[in-house]
A and B are shown apart, each in its own frame.
Chain A
């Protein structure tokens, strides 16, 4: 049976080159980078190379990249580390209602610790209003954390404008961006956008799971999150996951090299997908109406007369098509998506939604196959429902 994997925002298949690099390190260059002997020095060199590979995709300095166990740790570190570093200057933190749970839960923890957290609302397209941010910022604001691409609906926040607002209204605040869904996919350069901290993850870009990084602008201070060792310049303790980091470096390099071409390919697939959906009666898209405000690789959709996304998901699965309902991290829970709810959606748009997420490895034939099967499955489900 054909396998069409359209759940690339949940996780991706490791590239063969990545697997090769990871394997080589596990078998040959297995030293501990902190060891002084040759085995250690060799491992340290690999870390250095990977750091450069990641840094160049972001166009930042090597020493501004700190490896973590993944996006969740990077997000936890960014929030906890910044808030606790800056608690003396103020106790106000700003984020949005549609962030990934690792940001939302970290923000709630800060509330428990006595910080004031404002959760910016979004409009029906999943976009934050810079005007609203402007009104909420105060002299007490120490941190603003806003995601680049939303993992469920693909809305792309206007980071440039948001950054400008922060710089003029609360220049003392650190600006953190969760870029897990955009790193290696969109052209996103922290120095250009005035971003101080940025989280990224390996397994969303055909790299291995269990590895990610936090970009920390050189003159920004953040308290370490994992403690008890001098790794990562004393900022992140624990023996470095050398094979994982090497894999992330390789995946970043490959994604970075083809960033512009991949971007074009994804926009093309996206357009094809949108055109196809327009031909299915009663099909709707949750998220930005204008493709300019939408990431090309994530489309959230629902169909009149189909009230359970999970049923749609399994029907597609029986045709060899893999999608998700909302984010993978929540899919095992029964609750409806906090993102869709924050966008004011209800009814079938909320409970019947599925997410299609693309990779540059997907092709036109797969999209055609998906659209064909989707059309059939949706009519079948409608017949069953009526």
Chain B
């Protein structure tokens, strides 16, 4: 059976070159970077080279990069640390309704600690309205956190503009770039970001490693406490193989970014267009053009996303019904609700995220298999049957 992995926003296979690099640091240069002997020095060298590569892909200086255990830790650190860093200046914070839970839950935690949070709504394409942001800003606003690319619908936010406003008002600005870093251009200076989160396993690097960019001069309290690693900003023995793998993945992404953007945009458009042509009563979620190259998110009326997912899985196609982190839960996606979908339609959504191994043939295969599955599931759906009956009645009524 053909195997088509269309879940690259959940995680990606590790690039073989990255695996090779990691293996070297597992078997040869396995020292503790804090050790002062040569085992330690060799590991440290790898660590610092990786920092340069990760920084280069976002236009940052290496010393502005703090390695973490992943995107979630970096988000927690940025939001909670950012809020407390400016606590004296005010306790009002701004984010959006469609952030990743690592950001949203950090804000919810801060609300319990006495901070006030404005959750900006988004329009039907999932875009934050810059006017809304302007109106939400108060004298005591100290932190804004907006994601670059939404993990479910792929919409790209006007981060440059939002960042410029934050900069002008002297408000700390954090960008969750987990879904954009390594996939579209990310430049901390252009985006006016004070802090920016990136993750390794979304860009063909290993799991368990990510980073937080912290602009020089910005000080936030550390989230984890202990040893002096990462200039005391993040203690714990550095995950050297993971970090070096992240560095290698960033290096490869930098080389392939432009070509992959073009290629994946074409494949994505072929996929979306193909589905629109073949399947009625669907909705494409997210902005049509301000969109992550590899993201297609589509709601199919009268269908449970989960059944669709499992049917596709039986055909060798791996996709997702929302973000992986909450796919175990029965609640509909908070992102799809925020763009105005009803519970019923939100439940029938499918996210397909393309990556470097996907080909034209993969898309052709999906377009061949998907319409049949949708047709079959709809034919079993009581809602769909009711609708068909209603249609007949309507016709009948019309004739009468």
* A contact set with B: CB distance below 8 Å: 5, 7, 10-14, 16, 18-19, 22-23, 26-27, 30-32, 34-40, 68-73, 75-76, 100-103, 105-106, 108-109, 201, 203, 208-211, 226-231, 237-244, 310, 313-314, 317, 322-325, 328-333
Contacts and interface: CB of A to CB of B under 8 A. Distances in A.
Contacts of B241: 208-210
B174 interface: no
Interface in B1-31: 5, 7, 10-14, 16, 18-19, 22-23, 26-27, 30-31
Contacts of A317: 37-38
Given A27-B13, A230-B328, A101 B27 contact: no
A329 B207 contact: no
Contacts of B70: 69, 238-239, 241
A324 B32 CA distance: 11
A36 B306 contact: yes
Contact of A242 (B5, B207, B236): B207
B289 interface: no
Contacts of B76: 226-228, 237
A222 B110 CA distance: 18
Contacts of A203: 32, 237
Contact of A241 (B27, B207, B229): B207
A13 B28 CA distance: 8
B105 A73 contact: no
Interface string B84-105: 0000000000000000111111
Interface in B223-262: 224-229, 235-242
A208 B16 contact: no
A36 B310 contact: yes
Q: Which 3 A-B pairs have the closest CB atoms?
A: A210-B239, A241-B208, A102-B226
Contacts of B326: 34, 229-230
Contacts of A16: 27
B324 A11 contact: no
Contact of B109 (A35, A100, A227): A227
A159 to B, nearest CB: 22
B335 interface: no
Given A10-B34, A209-B238, A333-B228, 18 more contacts: A10-B31, A10-B35, A14-B26, A14-B27, A19-B27, A27-B13, A30-B12, A34-B10, A35-B320, A36-B309, A37-B312, A37-B313, A227-B105, A228-B76, A237-B105, A243-B208, A317-B37, A328-B35
A5 B35 CA distance: 12
Interface residues of B, number: 75
5 contacts: A36-B313, A76-B226, A101-B227, A239-B325, A329-B226
B150 interface: no
B19 to A, nearest CB: 5
| Most-contacted residue by chain B among A12, A209, A231 (CB, 10 A) | A209
Contact of A330 (B31, B225, B227): B227
A298 to B, nearest CB: 15
B362 to A, nearest CB: 15
B34 A34 contact: no
B11 to A, nearest CB: 4
B328 to A, nearest CB: 6
Contact of B39 (A5, A19, A310): A5
Interface centre among A10, A14, A317 (most CB of B within 10 A): A10
